[in-house]
A and B are shown apart, each in its own frame.
Chain A
Amino acid sequence: MTLAAQIRKLQVAVSLAMAMLGGSPAGSAPASQDSAAKSDAGYLTPVEAKFSVDGARLYVVCEDADALLVVDPRTKKVIGRVHVGHRPKDVAQSPDGQKLYVSNEWSDNVTEIDAKTLKVTRTIPTGWGPVGLVTDGTGQTLYVANSIGSDVSVIELATGTEKKRLASWRSPHNVLLSRDGRYVFVSNMLGHLGPWDQAPVSELTIIDANRQTIAYRLQIPGAIELRHIAEGSATEGSDLIIPFMRPKNLNPLIQVSNGWILTHGMLVLHPSNTAKGGYEVSQVLLDDIDQYYAGANGVAFTPDGKRLLVASSEANIVSVIDTAKLKQRINSVPASQLPDRLDSAATFVQRRLETGAEPMAIAVSRQGDRAYVVNRLDDSLTVINLTTTRVEGRIDLGGPKEETTLRTGEKLFHSAKFCFQGQFACVTCHPDNHIDGVSWNLETPELGKDRVANRTLRGISETAPYKWNGHNPDLETQCGPRIAKFLFHSEGFNKEELADLVAFIKAIPLAPNRHLAADGQLTLSQERGKKIFFQKNCDNCHPPATHYTALRSFDVGTANKYDTSGNFDVPQLDRIYEKPPYLHNGEALTLEEIWTVFNNEDKHGVTSDMTKEQLNDLIEFLKTL
């Protein structure tokens, strides 16, 4: 037995022992084959950390281990482990700290845990893809953001039942209860489905916690990937901070070498009685002029509100910010200029601290003396001493010490260091290995032409060729020299790195299908749609055997004046409902529009003779793929 295998065996034994100590399985839905293979490496992959109500414990959510870890911040040891559902994303607590709630994104439920015994007490069903969650001030209600359903489950905890679902906007991510308990804030990762040749608009959904209704939808122009939310101290004005990314997707990406194509920063929302939605919104960049801090993600205030910490998950950096200086900056630069000013960060960032790989979340101790940064791809926490503003240590959460090819590839995927000035990583435009929901002007001989919609990386290993023009025969070509030259404007990955990166991308699994019944039985509408699919010969270009793609390009009449060719790679249809907008340039905002608006010549299947009912049925079938 090799040393690595011995370590692995030992880790499994330890994990099993801890699981037995920690609690029973949540009884959640089984993992998909793909994701199970990934989890077999034994990585923990922590994604979130929160302090217990009494401040004595740190709860760490580990998505690949399907576990909640309990860490003693004094001893820096893992003291408990609870097995939860599949792909957990966040943890919330009852106001008294006695109950913990862990969202399981791929099990579509929440695991309730007794904080004292670490026993699982209930599994509560939610909407599709539960991620961020929070209890209300009374502990009677749990709000859960559903990433796939794009809504928020409002759960009555006394009965463990979902009272209602409130629509958020698109791919909601994190949830925060305001300090006064009046509002629940929900950040949305993806922007609105809007005009494909316009800058995106995102949304912060604000829920009235008393009425449990939507109070306001705060529109955020020009930004996407709204993630964590933090509220400052009341004495400092109760500002909300939400990290984001600003894509200049209307500019050709050839301009990456000129900088300023993808910028990263944060929304600063200052309460205001006169502003729309109750907040004056400023967009402030965290990047410097010659160095970017990609992946603005986790965020936390110190208890006194005087400092703010923001994690840049693709730069492996935590920026420590002087909030007084941040306010000065906001007040001294016109609001219209602020979102694009790269000279802001230098005025308020006290220090940039290096972390482990992919810092995703930050938890600050109740005393405000230390911050704990969750390093997703390091299975560790970075400990920051807030008195000295220095990294003082690392807490090993117990993941494998050997780095697998997939893990190396995943780190490369999440690292912006390969891009000119660190502007972006692969994951910047493919958050959650998926899409950013906007159309881009990628490398092209004719600037401004051939704009294309972002394509998912989930389940693509057997769908070569790649790119919308089908010019890349394999992922090595796609991710190697082409990305180096046209996107990163750098040397890119070396041969070994490229192999690891491609291995990781090929292993990215599909998410569970939410439109298909567990037993695979189609509904009447889906069954009718299936017949139409084959009667209309959709399978000629979308054959089931190869993920519903013919693995080649066709001209189906979807080119517009910006396109230099009408031939486009046939997209795979797996989980098609997760991928709007549609068509090569993202012009079709809904599945319906593919045929009702962009198939006037019947080249994308003969569909002009279909009734509306038939089209609805066809779409219902497509969602089951």
Chain B
Amino acid sequence: MKYRQIALATLLGLALLLCAGSRAQESPVYTRWENFTTANGMPDDKVFQAAVDGDRVWAGTENGLVLIEKGRIQKVYKVEDGLPNRVVTSVAVDPSSGDVWLATFGGLSRFSGGEFKNYRNLTSGLANDIVYAVAVQGEYVWAATTAGISRLNTLTGEWAIFSEKNAPMHEPWSYGIAVTGKKVYFAVWGGGLLEYDIEGGWWKPYNDPDGEMELVLFQNQGLLHDIVSNVAYNSQTNMVWASTYFGLSGYDGHDWHNYLSTDSALASDFINAVQSRGDDVWACTDKGLSYLNFKTGEWITYRPAEAGNGGDIVITTADKKVERRQSSTTLAHNYILNLTFQNDDIWVATAKGLSHGMREPNHQSNKEGNRNEHKSASR
């Protein structure tokens, strides 16, 4: 009896391993999460975005800037430290200088060598103090504001503003920026996706071809919707991805690849941000974090279990086979605001904290050690 039980358990284990092993080669699954919330030192629940600089992780929250290093919150910077506003909506690290650029609700800020230098609408050429996104592209710093896109030339100090007055925008309210070598893409609220060629100085707008606010009539004929919340450029595939509040759009320069929750395993059509590298596409939705392997068509969605213990992982293969898994740790919340990569790990900004996701099984042994060092507030 005992031997039969052992044999059955072994067979079952082997079957699971084989299953997981074959999947893992396709799309690694993140089953280990550590969360940084107000319970372990975050200044606010809401985390808008994180940016990685080597071993350092910078997180913009609704109440300050957070530096995480060696698995711990090292420092929280607030207005009294020089931050222009408590709401830090976007963070970008300039790899060239090590400076950290911040989009805030009180202007743009450069954090360099422990000091803030702030650029406000009244004190600089910044278009507006409500800044939703910041990106660094060589000597240029781009800022998406409610009054258009501002560009600072850090070498000459020159400011330029791009808005409905000089760019094909229906309105200037801009949400996201993605930079490439020679081009910049902008997510414009109600204005679709904009491509700007720096050398040529020309614009190329991408808009919803059906023009319908709530309907998608022509799914792969263009951008899904003109309300674009964010944009990402994948330099490996040369694809640009746009998150909208009505689905996910990808453009490879020739064809559009659009995804809705009704015809794919996308967690929700309400997407706050998208990030992409290699074959990976991550959609940050209001109902969890959805991953798409663009090559295989496999989807994986992560969200906290409704029961409140651990997380649900839903894997949907290209042929619609669904596998459900449970993880003992999970995301801090299912309302996902953004995501960034740190080698194989991911950092996910949510409405209830910052979540550090680690891949299984490849790095399990290493990460397990780290986790024990962390003062994690795992759900």
Nearest 6 CB-CB pairings of A with B: A213-B98, A217-B113, A596-B122, A214-B113, A616-B125, A164-B96
Residues of A within 8 A of B163 (CB): 613
Chain A CB within 8 A of B366 CB: no
List chain B residues, Cβ under 8 A from A596. Answer: 121-123
Known contacts A164-B97, A612-B127: A217-B112 contact under CB 8 Å: yes
Contact assessment for A214 and B123 in the assembled complex, using a CB-CB cutoff below 8 Å: no
Determine the residue in chain A with the shortest Cβ distance to B158: A620
At the interface, yes or no: B74 with Cβ under 8 Å from chain A? no
Taking the complex as formed, is A495 at the interface, i.e. its CB lies under 8 A from any CB of chain B?
A: no
Contact B98 A592 (CB under 8 A): no
Known pairs A592-B122, A612-B125, A612-B147; A216 contacts B155 (CB<8 A): no
A602 within 8 A of B: no
17 pairs of residues in contact across A and B, judged by CB atoms under 8 Å: A127-B155, A164-B97, A165-B139, A165-B154, A166-B97, A167-B110, A213-B96, A214-B112, A215-B113, A219-B115, A277-B114, A577-B157, A590-B123, A593-B122, A596-B122, A612-B127, A616-B125
- The answer to whether A74 has its CB under 8 Å from any CB of chain B is no
The reply to whether the CB of B280 lies closer than 8 angstroms to some CB of chain A is no
Residues of B within 8 A of A214 (CB): 97-99, 112-113
B-contacting residues, A198-216, CB 8 Å: 203, 205-206, 208, 211, 213-216
Within B125-148, which residues are at the interface with A (CB < 8 Å)? 125, 127, 139, 147
A616 adjacent to B160 (CB under 8 Å) = yes
Q: A149-B155, A167-B97 in contact; A217/B121 too (CB < 8 A)?
A: no
Q: Does A515 contact B (CB under 8 A)?
A: yes
Cα distance, A615 to B158, chains bound together (Å): 12
Interface membership of chain B positions 64-92, coded 1 if the CB is closer than 8 angstroms to chain A and 0 otherwise? 00000000000000000000000000000
B114 touching A216, Cβ below 8 Å: yes
Q: In whole angstroms, how far apart are the Cα atoms of A151 and B112 in the complex?
A: 13
Cβ-defined partner of A592 (8 Å) among B97, B125, B139, B156: B125
By the criterion CB–CB under 8 Å, are B155 and A589 in contact?
no
State the Cβ distance, A149 to closest chain B Cβ, in Å. Answer: 7
Instruction: Judge whether A593 and B114 touch: CB under 8 Å.
Output: no
Q: How far is the CB of B173 from chain A (nearest CB, A)?
A: 15
Interface string of B146-180 (1 = CB under 8 A from A): 01000000111111110101100000000000000
What B residues does A589 contact at CB under 8 A?
A: 123
Q: Within the complex, which residue of B96, B114, B124, B155 is in contact with A590, where a contact is CB–CB below 8 Å?
A: B124
Least CB distance from B122 to A in Å reads: 4
- Distance of B114 from chain A, by nearest CB (Å): 6
Q: Provide the bound-state CA to CA distance between A203 and B116, in Å.
A: 13
Beyond A213-B98, A214-B97, A616-B125, 10 extra complex contacts between A and B, CB < 8 Å: A149-B155, A165-B139, A167-B99, A167-B112, A217-B114, A276-B114, A277-B114, A589-B123, A613-B161, A613-B165
Q: A397 in the interface, Cβ–Cβ < 8 Å?
A: no
Question: Complex: how many Å from CA A589 to CA B122?
Answer: 11
Q: Which A residues between 137 and 172 are near B, CB-CB below 8 angstroms?
A: 149, 151, 164-167
Indicate if A619 sits at the interface (CB-CB under 8 A).
yes
Q: Is the CB of B122 within 8 A of A205?
A: no
Bound CA span A586–B5, Å: 85
**Do A167 and B154 touch (CB < 8 A)?**
yes
Measured CA separation A525–B157 after assembly (Å): 13
If A164-B96, A214-B99, A525-B160 touch, does A151 touch B122 (CB 8 Å cutoff)? no
Question: Is the pair A217, B115 in contact by a Cβ cutoff of 8 Å?
Answer: yes
Select the residue from A215, A590, A612 with max chain B CB neighbours within 10 A. A612
Residue of B nearest to A152 (CB): B97
**Complex CA distance for A208 and B113, rounded to whole angstroms:** 10
A597 within 8 A of B: yes
Q: Which of B110, B113, B161 contacts A616 (CB 8 A)?
A: B161
Q: How far is the CA of A206 from the CA of B98 in the complex (A)?
A: 12
Q: How far is the CA of A592 from the CA of B158 in the complex (A)?
A: 12
With A and B bound together, what is the CA distance between A277 and B99 in angstroms? 16
Minimal beta-carbon separation of B265 from chain A (angstroms): 41
Decide yes or no: A515 and B156 within 8 Å by CB, A165-B139, A214-B97, A613-B163 being known contacts: yes
Docked complex Cα distance between A164 and B158 (Å): 18
Which chain B residue lies CB-closest to A205?
A: B113
* Known contacts A206-B113, A216-B114, A613-B163: A619-B125 contact under CB 8 Å: yes
| Distance, CA A168 to CA B203, complexed state (A) | 34
Instruction: Tell me the complex Cα distance, A97–B155, Å.
Output: 31
- Are B165 and A592 closer than 8 Å at their CB atoms? no
Which residues of the other chain, A, contact B115 by a CB distance below 8 angstroms?
203, 217, 219
Residues of A within 8 A of B125 (CB): 592, 612, 615-616, 619
Smallest CB separation, B303 vs chain A (Å): 38
Contact mask A274-296 → B, CB, 8 Å, 1/0? 00110000000000000000000
